Amino acid sequence: MGEGILSVGGDPFPRQDGVLFCEGVPLPDLVARWGTPLYVYSATAIRERYTELDTALAPVPHLIAYSVKANGNLGVLRTLAAMGAGADIVSGGELHRALLAGIPAERIVFSGVGKTVNELAAALDAGIRCFNVESEGELRALSDLAEMTDRTAPVALRVNPNIETPTPHAYTRTGHAATKFGIPAEDALRLYRLAVRLPGIRVVGVDAHIGSQILEVEPFRRAVVHLLELIEQLRMDGVEVEHLDLGGGLGISYEGGEAISAAAFAETVLSLIEPTGLTLVMEPGRYLVGEAGVLLTRVLYMKEGGGKRFVIIDAGMNDLLRPSHYAGYHAVDPVETHGRLRVPVDVVGPICETGDFLALDREIELSEPGELLAIRTVGAYGFSMSSTYNQRPRPAEVLVDRESAHLVRRRETVDELVAAELALSDEITIPILTTHES
């Protein structure tokens, strides 16, 4: 590795002599070995982000429960587990992954509006830290289950504090009243009083998650104030909670600006929490891994039409959904620069959908078929939202740690895409019922 290629706070994807690297590894070498499309993550960048947040939160007891949905690759989870991270999960599948990666159950919190009885049971069995309950029905189901199995479920209610959050897309706002998320603020106290009485339930915290990709501190401050008021009301009822879970949502830099400052966030939020003695739980996803990933893709063809220049690449919306689903911006850079002209292009994939684009009207250095492009800032909600639409096997994933590269997920094969389907002869036949008139 070139000395000093990744210093603390340095660029995990530096360029040397025109070639893009991940830490100490030239990206073309990874493609030569594992092909395209290829997700590449920097372990050092993930650790640095974790340390930054952990250090900022140091004045209060805290748990950083990494939101597995952002990127659930076991290599990524193990990297974070080794740093002491916990996990925020939303399904039985994520519970399985988090435990496999060595994240201790007592550092796992379980969020989500639609947990099934099987998922609740698996988490009870594992002995997780907290269920973030989102409805009265879920609270009662959890109580029944815990009572039946002679267990106690640690619970926080996810409260909807009705805060409008400035996120880039409406789909990632969750803190206002008219979403499916959380328990309406006016209902919170009633449900807490119920929770205290229900068998098998132990109230341990309060919880909110107000949205994703938030770059300002103010919405978080308002959420904390809201939750502290609730905690005060609970205290007057004689209910003491141990933690305040502020969810995820810390924003990162997509277009070259700054990510939210962990220090500024901590200064505001901790001044409110420190005097209470509460443990602060955070559920960051994107903040820890988003900037640590690129998607490498090869230019297949160039094409012009309707006054547009199209760069057709071998990655599509099935590999990276954010541009077409949220109009998400991801910078696109040549992996090797040649000093050619920068021209406006649409970078599009091979999928049969007009919405299959990775970048629109973007000025990038002209590339030629066969050359490689890097799509930036895809460590979060990149692979984790990928699909096999158009029967495209999902990309391989590589985790780079200084000068070594680890294949942490091999490329899927077309055989695997059909493996779960039954042959006609194996099909289970359900007899068609006829209705009888009486």
- Active site (catalytic) residues: 352
Q: Is the dihedral of CA 216, 218, 221, 225 positive or negative?
A: negative
Q: Which of 42, 160, 212, 386 binds ligand LLP (CB under 6 A)?
A: 212
Rounded to 5 degrees, what are φ and ψ at 70?
Answer: -65, -40
Q: Would you say 36 or 111 has its CB closer to ligand LLP? A: 111
Find the shortest distance in angstroms from Cβ 345 to ligand LLP.
23
3-state SS, residue 319:
coil
Does the footprint of ligand LLP cover residue 220 (CB under 6 A)?
no
CB atoms within 10 A of CB 83: 16
Does the footprint of ligand LLP cover residue 314 (CB under 6 A)?
no
Q: Would you say 212 or 386 has its CB closer to ligand LLP? A: 212
Tokens 């019922």, residue located: 433
Q: Which part of the chain contacts ligand LLP (CB under 6 A), choosing from 39-47, 50-58, 186-194, 208-216?
A: 208-216
Does the footprint of ligand LLP cover residue 248 (CB under 6 A)?
yes
| Residue 35, phi-psi category: left (phi > 0), alpha (psi -120 to 50), beta (remainder) | left
Does the footprint of ligand LLP cover residue 316 (CB under 6 A)?
no
Q: Would you say 25 or 90 has its CB closer to ligand LLP? A: 90
Find the shortest distance in angstroms from Cβ 385 to ligand LLP.
6
Distance CA 192, CA 205 (A): 10
Q: Would you say 36 or 377 has its CB closer to ligand LLP? A: 377
- Which of the residues 47 through 76 are near ligand LLP (CB under 6 A)? 67, 70
257-263-266-268 Cα dihedral, nearest 10 degrees:
-80
Q: Would you say 69 or 298 has its CB closer to ligand LLP? A: 69
DSSP assignment letter at 402: T
Does the footprint of ligand LLP cover residue 107 (CB under 6 A)?
no
Does the footprint of ligand LLP cover residue 293 (CB under 6 A)?
no
Provide the token pair at 375. Answer: 């799509």
Find the shortest distance in angstroms from Cβ 26 to ligand LLP.
28
Q: What is the 3-state secondary structure (H, E, C) of 159-188?
A: EECCCCCCCCCHHHECCCCCCCCCEEHHHH
Specify the pairing of strand 372-376 against strand 293-305: antiparallel
DSSP assignment letter at 170: G
Size of the site for ligand LLP (CB under 6 A): 22
Task: Find out whether 359 and 382 touch, Cβ atoms under 8 Å.
Answer: no
Specify the pairing of strand 153-160 against strand 183-184: parallel
Per-residue x/- track, 370-389, ligand LLP (CB under 6 A): ----------xx---x----
Task: Find out whether 68 and 97 touch, Cβ atoms under 8 Å.
Answer: yes
Q: Which of 21, 34, 50, 287 binds ligand LLP (CB under 6 A)?
A: 287
Which residues sit at the interface with ligand LLP, rule CB under 6 A? 67, 70, 88, 111, 172, 209, 212-213, 247-250, 283-287, 322, 326, 380-381, 385
